[in-house]
Amino acid sequence: MNDVANKVNSDAKTVEHHIPQTLPRFSATFDPHTMAEIRRAAATGIYDIRGAGSKRKLPHFDDLLFLGASVSRYPLEGYREKCGTDVVLGTRYAKKPIYLKTPVTIAGMSFGSLSGPAKEALGRGATAAGTSTTTGDGGMTPEERGHSTMLVYQYLPSRYGMNPDDLRKADAIEVVIGQGAKPGGGGMLFGQKITERVAKMRCLPVGVDQRSSCRHPDWTGPDDLEIKIAEIREITDWEKPIYVKIGATRPYFDVALAVKAGADVVVLDGMQGGTAATQEVFIEHVGIPILAAIRPAVKALQDLGVYRNGKNSVQLIVSGGIRNGADVAKAIALGADAVAIGTAALIALGDNEPHLEAEYNKLGTTAGAYDDWHLGQDPAGITTQDPELMKRLDPVAAGHRLANYISVMTMEAQVVARACGKSHLHNLEPEDLVALTVEASAMAKVPLAGTDWIPGVSKY
């Protein structure tokens, strides 16, 4: 229109005056990221694969606030009055439940996706902090078992490296149905990371692209899962807690079925939870944020009479975007017994650090945004199997950083809990929370701040 108007004006040689120009405007729909992805897809003919979890802005714990104590509630003294942080997991059936000093656990990440030194650092850090760490696809390494006081052994669809001797060495067993980054998806580990050691552990040829299955090979559906859990209990003589890990999709029904199948602990992972390698479309478009998943999961436990019901309790661990003590406290206030961190733990080890900016630039990215974890070129030596790169990670120093970070998260959660007058983190409750947005209010089922309105629960 402007061009036409200009032409008409200049042709008519009417009064000259300044014609305002519109600013170049990017489409909100076809933003630069979207256009770059269209061009990349057009050039390669293959979907984009990357690591980490959902990167889009989602309703999250930041959309909740604690009310704290005032005249109507009584706070606890910050440094003088105790605020407990311990957690017991696996009380329902296991002869040897897990005792943790902090509700912050380390999520399952495989040797293969992570380097040996990174796995060792996770074990060291978790052990120093009094918490558990978790294996991943590809089996248990001696380094990891050796450096972890409490080690959860994942039982995955691929069964790579699955060994009954390791099952007996584990402190708990986690039957993995899915994860938040890709509920309904299987594992991926590309040729670059299938080194001789990784290949041997997984019984694969060196250098192949490993695309592991999304369904377990020897059971289908919840009735079979019940028999499978019973088999693992029989093999381990009912000693070890059995967790069931699910990606957040239909949390009420999935948690109910996991409890029915005999889980001691349910691990619920939201879409912000990380992955070593998954299609971008899967990460960003399948599954729900953890904020929306906790209350339905807790409701399922309550309806089945296993929520904080003494020995007959099934504990809930939630994960997916847990970053600090406020997130920990909010997850617990919504009903979780513990949380798990993955991406945050890798950052504490040294992932995406600004001092490696020049090297990230060489890989076509920038510190903080690096997510091509599947390519095995991580300059921080964490998501790689390159012997030179992995030398850069000192497992002792990195483990110390992780222990510090978990300690800070735990203390932060205590600060919040004491402010709310709670003598244990587990005494936090939804009543302590309000929401900043209508969306978060509906998802977390706590009132919009300053109102008593919860969309879907009460009338405005």
Partner 1 sequence: MESLKYNLDVTPLRELNQFLHSNPSELDGKTIEISNPNGAHNIAVGLKADVNVTIQGHAGYYAAGMNQIAHVVIEGSAGSGVAENMMSGRVHVKGFASNAAGATSQGGLLIIDGDAGLRCAIALKGADVVVGGSVGSFTAFMAQAGNLVVLGNAGDALGDSIYEANIFVRGSVKSLGSDCIEKPMDEERRQILVDLLAKSGHASISPECFKRFGSARTLYNFKVDNAGAY
Could you say whether residue 218 binds partner 1 (CB under 8 A)?
A: yes
CB under 8 Å to 324, separation ≥6 — which residues? 408, 409, 412
| Cα distance between residue 241 and residue 357, in whole Å | 43
- Lay out the site mask for partner 1 across 255-294 (x = CB under 8 A, - = otherwise): ----------------------------------------
Size of the site for partner 1 (CB under 8 A): 34
CB-nearer residue toward partner 1: 64 or 175? 175
The answer to whether 381 and 115 are in contact (CB under 8 A) is yes
CB-nearer residue toward partner 1: 179 or 210? 210
What is the CB neighbour count within 10 angstroms for residue 160?
A: 21
- Options 8, 35, 36, 203; binder of partner 1; rule CB under 8 A: 203
The answer to whether 441 and 435 are in contact (CB under 8 A) is yes
The answer to whether 113 and 276 are in contact (CB under 8 A) is yes
Q: Torsion over CA of 370, 375, 379 and 383, rounded to 10 degrees?
A: 90
| Cα distance between residue 351 and residue 283, in whole Å | 20
Tell me the closest approach of the beta carbon of residue 342 to partner 1, in angstroms: 25
Q: Torsion over CA of 140, 141, 146 and 152, rounded to 10 degrees?
A: -20
Q: Report DSSP letters for 281-298, one per residue.
A: HHHHHSS--HHHHHHHHH
Tell me the closest approach of the beta carbon of residue 257 to partner 1, in angstroms: 18
CB-nearer residue toward partner 1: 196 or 224? 224
| Cα distance between residue 277 and residue 125, in whole Å | 24
- Options 219, 307, 373, 405; binder of partner 1; rule CB under 8 A: 219
Tell me the closest approach of the beta carbon of residue 42 to partner 1, in angstroms: 12
Looking from the CA of 218 toward its CB, the CA atoms found within 13 Å total 9
- Options 140, 170, 172, 204; binder of partner 1; rule CB under 8 A: 204
- Options 5, 19, 38, 235; binder of partner 1; rule CB under 8 A: 235
Tell me the closest approach of the beta carbon of residue 95 to partner 1, in angstroms: 12
- Lay out the site mask for partner 1 across 401-430 (x = CB under 8 A, - = otherwise): ------------------------------
- Options 66, 238, 252, 453; binder of partner 1; rule CB under 8 A: 238
Site for partner 1 in 33-72 (CB under 8 A): 44-46
- Lay out the site mask for partner 1 across 143-172 (x = CB under 8 A, - = otherwise): ---------------xx--xxxx-x-----
CB-nearer residue toward partner 1: 202 or 330? 202
Could you say whether residue 221 binds partner 1 (CB under 8 A)?
A: no
Which of 7-15, 218-226, 298-306, 377-385 is the region at the interface with partner 1 (rule: CB under 8 A)?
Answer: 218-226
Tell me the closest approach of the beta carbon of residue 207 to partner 1, in angstroms: 8
The answer to whether 106 and 459 are in contact (CB under 8 A) is no
- Token readout for 425 is 């983190």
| Cα distance between residue 390 and residue 380, in whole Å | 7
The answer to whether 88 and 311 are in contact (CB under 8 A) is no
- Options 68, 78, 146, 205; binder of partner 1; rule CB under 8 A: 205
DSSP category for residue 247: E
For partner 1, the binding residues (CB under 8 A) are 44-46, 158-159, 162-165, 167, 190-191, 202-205, 207-209, 211, 213, 217-219, 224, 227-228, 230-231, 234-238
